[in-house]
C-alpha cells in the first residue's frame, strides 16, 4: 500500500488572493510536486484540480479560483519527477473563504487637528459574510510609534459595525498616532495602520464687549453689544451668592443655566461662572445645548507616569451621538485644597467646538 501525505489544516482566507497549502510526505521516493483537489462542501462539486511542480512541500492555489462565502473540502496526492501520482490520497481538510474585513476610523483622518486634550474615536468594522470581530484593541502612540495608551483587548459577541473608544491627557503641540487592530472569529486579521493626529489647543477667546459703527452719513455712532443677561436657577434654591457674583456651593447644590430667556445655547456663546466649594467628580454647573444637557465638573488626576502628583482640571461634558460623550478638559489648576477654593470657569462654543478654562480667584473674600 502506498503511503499518504498529510495535508495541514487551512486557516480561513480571502479567495481573491493566492493561498498556499502545506503538507508532509514521508515516502521513500522524494516529492517533486503535488496534485490538489478542492470540492465545494455543500454540493460536492470539484471546483479546482491543479498540479504544482516543486520539491517544496507546498501547493499554491492562484487568486480568484475559489469564491468567498463558500466552504470547501481539499485533499492532495504526491507526484514524482515524471508527474505521476505516487501516493494515496491525503486526509481531507475543511476550510472557509471569507472576504477580507475592513476596520476604519470614521471621525479621524490623517493629520486631523485635535483641539483639546480629549479624543473620542469611532471605528467602523465591515465583513461581507458577517464574521464577528472577536477581539480588537485601539492604541494611542507617540511620534516614535511607541504605545502610550491603550483600550486594552476588547471582545464583541455579535456582529458589531460601530465601535468607540476615548483617550484623554493629550498634550498641546504634540503629534500622536492612532491604530486599531483585531482578529475575527474565523481567524482573519484586520488593522487600520497608523493614523497621525496633531494636537493644537484652541485658546478661549472672549468676544468684544462693545461694537462701534460710525454712521458718518447720519452724523452718529451705533453702539451694539453681544453680551446678554440670563437667568440662573440653583438647586437647592437657598444656594448663597457671595456679593451677588459668586455661587457658594460649600453646603451642596448645583447651578443651572438651562432656564430663562433670551439665552440661546445652541448658538455661539461665551459665559463665565464664579463658584466656590464645588464637589469633585460631580456636575455642579449645567445648561441645555439644543435638546441635550451639558455640564461642568471638577476632577483631579496624575498625568505623568513618572510623577504621581495629582493635577486639578475642569471637565466639560457634552452628550454626543451613539451614546458617547464629547469631553473637553480645561487648563491644569492647583488641586483644590479646601472647600473654600474659588474659581471662575469660562465656557465658549464657537462653530460647534467647545472650550473650557479656569482662573483661580485668589483675592475673593468669603
Q: What is the pLDDT of residue 105?
A: 96
Q: What is the pLDDT of residue 204?
A: 45
CA–CA gap between residue 209 and residue 333 (Å, rounded): 27
pLDDT of residue 157: 84
Three cell numbers written together for 46: 470539484
C-alpha cell recorded at residue 261: 430667556
Q: Classify 323 as helix, strand or coil.
A: helix
> What confidence score (pLDDT) does residue 207 get?
47
Contact 18, 63 (CB under 8 A): yes
Q: Which of 54, 50, 47, 63 is nearest to 25 (CA)?
A: 54
Q: Which domains does the chain have, with CATH numbers?
A: 6-96 (2.60.40.10), 102-199 (2.60.40.10), 211-360 (no CATH)
- Spatial CB neighbours of 136, under 8 Å, sequence gap ≥ 6: 103, 125, 153, 154, 156, 163, 180, 181, 182, 183, 190
What pairs with residue 175 in β-bridges? Answer: 198
- Which of these, 279, 342, 333, lies nearest to 310 by C-alpha position? 333
What's the first-to-final CA gap in the chain, in angstroms?
Answer: 100
Low-confidence residues of the chain: pLDDT under 70: 1, 202-211, 216, 224-238, 244, 258-267, 289-291, 303-308, 320-324, 337-340, 362-366
Grid coordinates belonging to 348? 465658549
pLDDT at 363: 56
Distance (Å, whole) CA 81 – CA 103: 46
pLDDT, one tens digit per residue, over 107-160 is: 999 999 998 888 999 999 999 999 999 999 999 999 999 999 999 999 988 898
Amino acid at each position: 500500500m502506498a503511503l499518504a501525505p498529510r495535508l495541514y489544516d487551512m486557516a480561513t482566507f480571502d479567495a481573491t488572493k493566492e493561498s498556499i497549502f502545506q503538507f508532509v510526505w514521508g515516502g521513500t521516493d522524494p516529492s517533486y510536486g503535488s496534485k490538489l483537489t478542492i470540492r465545494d462542501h455543500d454540493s460536492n462539486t470539484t471546483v479546482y484540480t491543479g498540479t504544482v511542480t516543486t520539491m517544496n512541500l507546498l501547493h499554491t492555489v492562484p487568486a480568484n479560483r475559489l469564491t468567498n462565502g463558500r466552504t470547501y473540502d481539499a485533499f492532495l496526492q504526491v507526484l514524482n519527477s515524471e508527474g505521476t501520482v505516487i501516493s494515496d490520497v491525503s486526509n481531507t481538510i475543511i476550510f472557509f473563504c471569507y472576504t477580507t474585513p475592513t476596520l476604519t476610523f470614521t471621525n479621524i483622518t490623517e493629520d486631523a487637528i485635535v483641539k483639546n486634550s480629549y479624543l473620542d474615536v469611532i471605528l467602523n468594522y465591515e465583513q461581507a459574510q458577517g464574521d464577528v470581530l472577536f477581539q480588537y484593541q485601539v492604541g494611542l502612540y507617540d511620534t516614535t510609534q511607541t504605545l502610550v495608551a491603550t483600550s486594552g483587548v476588547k471582545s464583541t459577541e455579535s456582529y458589531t459595525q460601530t465601535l468607540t473608544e476615548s483617550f484623554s491627557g493629550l498634550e498641546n503641540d504634540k503629534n500622536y498616532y492612532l491604530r486599531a487592530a483585531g482578529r475575527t472569529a474565523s481567524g482573519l486579521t484586520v488593522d487600520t495602520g497608523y493614523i497621525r493626529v496633531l494636537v493644537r489647543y484652541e485658546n478661549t477667546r472672549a468676544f468684544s464687549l462693545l461694537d462701534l459703527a460710525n454712521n458718518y452719513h447720519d452724523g452718529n455712532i451705533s453702539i451694539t453689544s453681544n453680551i446678554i443677561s440670563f437667568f440662573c436657577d440653583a438647586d437647592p434654591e437657598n444656594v448663597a451668592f457671595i456679593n451677588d457674583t459668586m455661587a457658594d456651593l460649600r453646603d451642596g447644590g448645583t447651578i443651572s443655566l438651562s432656564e430663562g430667556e433670551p439665552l440661546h445655547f445652541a448658538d455661539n456663546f461665551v459665559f463665565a461662572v464664579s463658584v466656590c466649594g464645588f464637589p469633585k467628580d460631580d456636575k455642579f454647573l449645567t445648561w441645555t445645548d439644543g435638546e441635550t444637557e451639558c455640564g461642568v465638573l471638577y476632577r483631579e488626576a496624575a498625568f505623568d507616569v513618572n510623577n504621581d502628583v495629582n493635577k486639578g482640571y475642569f471637565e466639560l461634558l457634552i452628550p454626543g451621538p451613539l451614546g458617547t460623550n464629547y469631553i473637553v478638559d480645561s487648563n491644569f489648576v492647583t488641586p483644590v485644597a479646601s472647600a473654600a477654593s474659588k474659581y471662575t470657569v469660562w465656557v465658549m462654543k464657537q462653530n460647534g467646538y467647545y472650550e473650557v478654562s479656569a482662573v483661580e480667584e485668589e483675592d475673593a473674600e468669603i
